[in-house]
Amino acid sequence: MSSAAAEKSAMPGFIKPQLAILKSKAPVGQQWLHEIKYDGYRVQVYVNAGKKKVYTRNGRDWTKRFSLIAGALDTPGQAIIDGEVVVVHQGRTNFSELQAELARGDQDRLVFYAFDLLWRNGDLRKLPQLERKQMLAELLGENDIGLPVLYSEHLTGDGQEMFEHAAKLGWEGIVSKRADAPYRSERTEAWLKIKTVQKGKFPVIGFVKDPTGVAALYLGKREGKELVYMGKVGTGWNRTTSSQIRKQLDTVVSPKSKLTRPIKKPKATWVEPVFTADVEFRDITSEGLLRQSSFKGLKKG
C-alpha cells in the first residue's frame, strides 16, 4: 500500500499516544495481532524533510537523549513512528538498565522497537492497524533502516500461546491489537496488554508504621547464611489486613536490623525475620531490588 492512502494535511505536533487496557487473559481469533510488551520508554519519532524530533508519551522533547535513534531514522518526506526505547539486558528488555543508561547520558545500548506508523506524508490514523504496520515495515525496509531501530514483529491467532511463551522467557508480557482498528489517542479496547507476573516468598525484616497498621514492609532474601535486602512492598492490603499484619509483627520487634549488611532506614521498625510475605512482582532490578511489588499474604515460618 502506498502513502497515497494517507489523508493530506499539515503535519501535526505531538500526537497523544494510544494506550492499552490491562486484561488477565490474551484474546483469541484471527482479528488480533500479538506483539511483545517492551519494558521501556514509549516515544514517537517525527521525521520532516530530514529534521527529527523525539517525544515522550507525555509530549516532552527528548530528541537529545535519543539522538542516535533519531539519526538512524533516515527516511525521506514526512513520517511519525510510534514505538518503545529499551535496553536489552540478559535477553530481555530491562527498565532499570534503561534508566541507568539515561542517567549516565549514554545511548550505546538503546534500541527503538518501532510498532506503528501514524503519518507518512499525510495522516494514516484512520487506516487499519495491520495496514499501518505493513507500511511501517515497507518504510524501514525500503530505506535500509537498521540498528538501533528494529521493526516490532507480531503473530496472529492464539495470543495465550504467545503470552505463555513470553512468561517463560521472562518478558513483561504481550500487547494484543485489533488488526482492523484505527489509531485512537486514548486507552481503548482495541489494544489490550497482558502482563506476566512473578511470585516469591520473602522474609519480612521490618516495617513502616502508619496510625492503624503498616505503610510498607521491608523484605529480605536468604542467600546461603546471609540475609540480604530485597526492597519494600507498600501495596496489596486494605485497612483490616494492614492492622492484622501490624499486630503480628509487633510480637517480633527487634532492636536492630537482622540483615547481614545493615541498611539505613530511619522510619523502619525492625523485626526478627520469622514472618514470610507472599509477594507478586514484575522484576528484580540491577541493584537486586523488587520492582512493582504487591503484597499477597503473610505466613509464620
Q: What is the mean pLDDT of residues 187-200?
A: 90
Share of the chain above pLDDT 90, in %: 74
What are 39-74's pLDDT values in tens digits? 899 999 999 999 999 999 999 999 999 999 999 999
Confidence check: pLDDT of 269 > 90? yes
Predicted pLDDT of residue 99: 84
Confidence check: pLDDT of 235 > 50? yes
Cell of 262: 545493615
The answer to whether 171 touches 92, Cβ cutoff 8 Å, is yes
Q: 3 pLDDT band (50/70/90 cuts)? A: very low
| Ordered alpha helix ranges (H), 48-123 | 67-72, 95-103
Cell 495522516, residue located: 123
Mention every residue, 6+ apart, whose C-beta is less than 8 A from residue 207.
214, 215, 216, 217, 218, 245, 246, 249, 268, 269, 271
Predicted pLDDT of residue 8: 66
The DSSP bridge pattern shows strands 226-233 and 214-223 to be: antiparallel
Share of the chain above pLDDT 70, in %: 97
Q: 100 pLDDT band (50/70/90 cuts)? A: confident
Predicted pLDDT of residue 121: 95
User: Which of 186, 114, 110, 181 lies closest to 154 in space, CA to CA?
Assistant: 114
Q: What Rg, from alpha-carbon coordinates, does the chain have?
A: 23
**What's the fold here for domain 17-195?**
D-amino Acid Aminotransferase; Chain A, domain 1 (3.30.470)
CATH hierarchy code of domain 198-300: 2.40.50.140
The chain-wide mean pLDDT, for the chain, equals 92
**286/68: higher pLDDT:** 68
Amino acid, single-letter form, for residue 94: N
Confidence check: pLDDT of 17 > 50? yes
Cell of 272: 526478627
Domain ranges of the chain: 17-195, 198-300
Lowest mean pLDDT among 62-76, 145-159, 278-292: 278-292
Predicted pLDDT of residue 1: 44
Q: 199 pLDDT band (50/70/90 cuts)? A: confident
Q: What is the mean pLDDT of residues 18-44?
A: 93
Predicted pLDDT of residue 292: 85
Asked if residue 17 has a cis previous peptide bond (ω within 30° of 0), the answer is no
Q: What is the mean pLDDT of residues 87-99?
A: 83
Predicted pLDDT of residue 5: 56
DSSP 207: E
